[in-house]
Structure 1
Amino acid sequence: MDSQPAVPGPLLGGEAGSGEPMTVKPDVAAPAEDEQAAPPAKTRKAVIIAWAKRLLIVAVLAAATWSLYSQWDEVYPTLLALPWQSVVLSMIAVLVGIFLGPLVWKIVLSDLGAPVRFSDASKFYLVGQLGKYVPGAVWAVLLSMELAREAGVNRARSFTAGLVATGMGVLASLIAGLAALPVMLSGRPESNQLLWLFLLLAVGLPFLHPRLLTWSVNLVLKALRKQPIERRFTGVEILKALGTAVAIYLCYGVHLWLLVNSLGSPRWDTLILSTGAMALSMTAGLLAFFLPSGIGARELVITATIATVLPSGQAIALALVSRLMFTIADLAAAGSAALLVYVQKRRGAPVPVPAED
């Protein structure tokens, strides 16, 4: 019995019975492989936030520049009288301390399960820190959170890291500030008014325990109606962050010590005194958040402490020179961090995806 030849269906051939294969013709032509999908249009909220961030950066840069300009006439004569070698080495010490700051954030974020590159941590920390030159600490916090979001860290986690890193910094400053305690107890009225700061050390030290630190952070997040952190802090990472923060104040102490020694006979014991003075002055400036970068509060502490080894006039002048050098270093460090991230992008380094809150 002869079998009948199969008749190709409409999906396998052209005309019925022609025996010719038929190709499927889609209704819409497939896009070329090199074509890329158009990026989604930005929402009005995203555009507003982007422009607000740009305006905030311009505002803090303007405030930092004005701070630099307004101090110049007062410190220029003293700055010229200092040996240039001491000024250069002192500036290097400041820059080393400033660039250790992002490392504290990097350690804390890694412990929170949000690891970031040092370059990204440098950008959102160092650029964000310029917000301190605008009265009110909120601007530095907001700017850091927005820049951290671009690095893939959501706002809740960056806020948490900032809270912990700031607490670490205060405790580290008070630990280093113990070096200046003998001078503060010597009876100078300006110094004695700051003794209450060491109460913060007694209150804060227990919170270095991982369980208590995790509980307190979750309590703050709960009050802000945010989700609690998924993992507990670890003791090793806490000690690493605290040790790095102490190293920052040691660098700042070297900065002031070099300036003090340049105006008198070199003394190694002033290194301990200078470290304590810088550490306590930073904490005083942080607590005076209503002042741009704690201006006035920092100088008061430095002057009161350094006046024990130098005439009062020179102590005041060095406090102002120190302020000027920190302003220059802040601007230089922020610019360097932003430039580093830009160069990495130009070289094709992976760009973090902005985090969703």
Structure 2
Amino acid sequence: MGRGWTKVVPLKAVVVAIVVVVAAYAVHRNWDALVRGFDELPLWVLGVAFVLTVLAQGIALLMWRVVLADLGSPLPLVPAARIFYVSQLGKYLPGSVWTIVGQMELARAERVPRRTSLTQGVLVLAIAVGAGVMVSVLLMPFLGRETFARYWWAVLLLPLILVALHPPVFAKVVDTGLRLLGREPLQVLPTWRGIGKALALQGLVWLLLGLQIWVVVVGLGGDPLPSLLASVGGYALGFSLGMAAIGLPAGAGLREAVLVVALSGVLSPGLALLVALLARGIAVLADVVVALVAAFLTRRAGELGTSSSHAANEPPGRSLCPPHGSSGPSD
């Protein structure tokens, strides 16, 4: 391995260790409020939050397929689900690249070129972060003074993201990167129609995930209307910044920190931390469940396809039923 890699790995380990220590201290400091809030939270609230998270996962898959089709490699739903959901587990490793690497490897079985998978992974990440920043910027006035004081600079990211998502600009950047990697340029370029549709679907994803937070906040006694805007905007901002933080596994720590600040106007610090921790747990559970379901459905579809293929190749046997109009075999 190169010296650069050996320097990066310890740095990532240090970052993750710091996040774990800070999170443990926050939990210890708010332990009584966490236990009290969890005891008072109805179980149906967690069930509804889980369903909303799974629905958001479904819309995210649709967005992922839209981008892949826009790049000239459309996939059927079942294999697309297997590739998308299984590769998503890679985000729990330090570095956002593992999700893209997983998609590249899994998509090879469906004859998706590596350069297309790489481009799609980068574009999906940019669209997800871009849509999250758009939502959070629109709702920034409702996220409280402390949120704006800490994260006002997110507003400056919006024009940069819009420029980066402009198809000719994005294609130029990607082709330059592919050339540096010694790969051929893209054969099919992204379109405004595809990117616009993907942005709309990702906006719906952020809405569903924000509603998941809102259900838990209301279950803990938060005021419904103010907490709705804070939940949607805060989670979109935290999740987006977490995705952009390449060194953190699934944005661990940063996502929760932003959400706690955004919810500080509608909940106490302890309850806001509880919401953030529950959201993380629900997200992990949903990721694992949908990945297992997608893998099972893919395997089942493969078995059915194999059975159908064998049946089609069977030589025609003698019918057990007599031909129409006959009474049976003659003696």
- TM bracket (short chain): 0.7 to 0.9
**Residues 288, 209 of structure 1: alpha-carbon distance in 2 compared, 3 angstrom cutoff:** closer
- Tell me, yes or no, if structure 1 residue 222 matches structure 2 residue 179: yes
**Residues 174, 195 of structure 1: alpha-carbon distance in 2 compared, 3 angstrom cutoff:** same
Per the alignment, residue 159 of structure 2 pairs with: 202
Per the alignment, residue 24 of structure 1 pairs with: none
- Tell me, yes or no, if structure 1 residue 173 matches structure 2 residue 132: yes
* Distance (whole Å) between structure 1 residues aligned to residue 213 and residue 42 of structure 2: 14
Per the alignment, residue 150 of structure 2 pairs with: 193
- Tell me, yes or no, if structure 1 residue 120 matches structure 2 residue 79: yes
Superposed CA deviations along residues 50-96 of structure 1, whole A, max 9, x for unmatched, are xxxxxxxxxxxxxxxxx9xx999977764443112221111111111
* Distance (whole Å) between structure 1 residues aligned to residue 170 and residue 92 of structure 2: 30
45, 48, 60: which one aligns with 1:89: 48
Superposed CA deviations along residues 253-294 of structure 1, whole A, max 9, x for unmatched, are 100010111111552342222111111111121132222221
SS of the residue 2:232 aligns to: helix
Per the alignment, residue 326 of structure 1 pairs with: 283
* Distance (whole Å) between structure 1 residues aligned to residue 263 and residue 192 of structure 2: 36
207, 225, 228: which one aligns with 1:271: 228
| RMSD, aligned CA | 2.5
- In the TM superposition, residue 178 of structure 1 has moved relative to its aligned partner by 1.9
- Tell me, yes or no, if structure 1 residue 297 matches structure 2 residue 254: yes
* Distance (whole Å) between structure 2 residues aligned to residue 292 and residue 165 of structure 1: 18
Q: TM-score, normalised by structure 2?
A: 0.78
* Distance (whole Å) between structure 2 residues aligned to residue 133 and residue 81 of structure 1: 30
- Tell me, yes or no, if structure 1 residue 182 matches structure 2 residue 141: yes
1:323 maps to amino acid: R
**Residues 115, 208 of structure 1: alpha-carbon distance in 2 compared, 3 angstrom cutoff:** same
1:125 maps to amino acid: F
Correspondence list, 1:239-318, <5 A: 239-264=196-221, 266-318=223-275
- In the TM superposition, residue 98 of structure 1 has moved relative to its aligned partner by 1.4
* Distance (whole Å) between structure 2 residues aligned to residue 108 and residue 296 of structure 1: 29
300, 303, 310: which one aligns with 1:343: 300
**Residues 349, 196 of structure 1: alpha-carbon distance in 2 compared, 3 angstrom cutoff:** farther
**Residues 209, 292 of structure 1: alpha-carbon distance in 2 compared, 3 angstrom cutoff:** closer
Superposed CA deviations along residues 164-216 of structure 1, whole A, max 9, x for unmatched, are 11111111001111244114561x2x653322223221111123433333223
Q: Is the 8 A contact 1:97 1:248 kept in 2?
A: yes
Q: Is the 8 A contact 1:179 1:272 kept in 2?
A: no
Higher mean displacement: 250-259 or 76-85: 76-85
* Distance (whole Å) between structure 1 residues aligned to residue 148 and residue 257 of structure 2: 9
Identical-pair percentage: 30
* Distance (whole Å) between structure 2 residues aligned to residue 237 and residue 274 of structure 1: 28
1:277 maps to amino acid: G
- Residue ranges of structure 1 left out of the alignment (5+ in a row): 1-66, 351-357
- Rg larger for: 1
2:253 maps to amino acid: G
Correspondence list, 1:145-184, <5 A: 145-183=104-142
Q: How many aligned positions are there?
A: 280
* Distance (whole Å) between structure 1 residues aligned to residue 191 and residue 264 of structure 2: 42
Superposed CA deviations along residues 95-118 of structure 1, whole A, max 9, x for unmatched, are 111122222221111111111112
Superposed CA deviations along residues 146-170 of structure 1, whole A, max 9, x for unmatched, are 1111222121110011111111111
- In the TM superposition, residue 234 of structure 1 has moved relative to its aligned partner by 2.1
Q: TM-score, normalised by structure 1?
A: 0.72
* Distance (whole Å) between structure 1 residues aligned to residue 235 and residue 143 of structure 2: 13
* Distance (whole Å) between structure 1 residues aligned to residue 169 and residue 241 of structure 2: 26
Higher mean displacement: 103-112 or 314-323: 103-112
Higher mean displacement: 299-308 or 126-135: 126-135
If each structure's helix is expressed as a fraction of its own residues, which one has the higher value?
A: 2
**Residues 199, 242 of structure 1: alpha-carbon distance in 2 compared, 3 angstrom cutoff:** same
* Distance (whole Å) between structure 2 residues aligned to residue 174 and residue 226 of structure 1: 32
- Tell me, yes or no, if structure 1 residue 131 matches structure 2 residue 94: no
Runs of 4+ aligned structure 1 residues displaced above 6 Å come to: 70-77
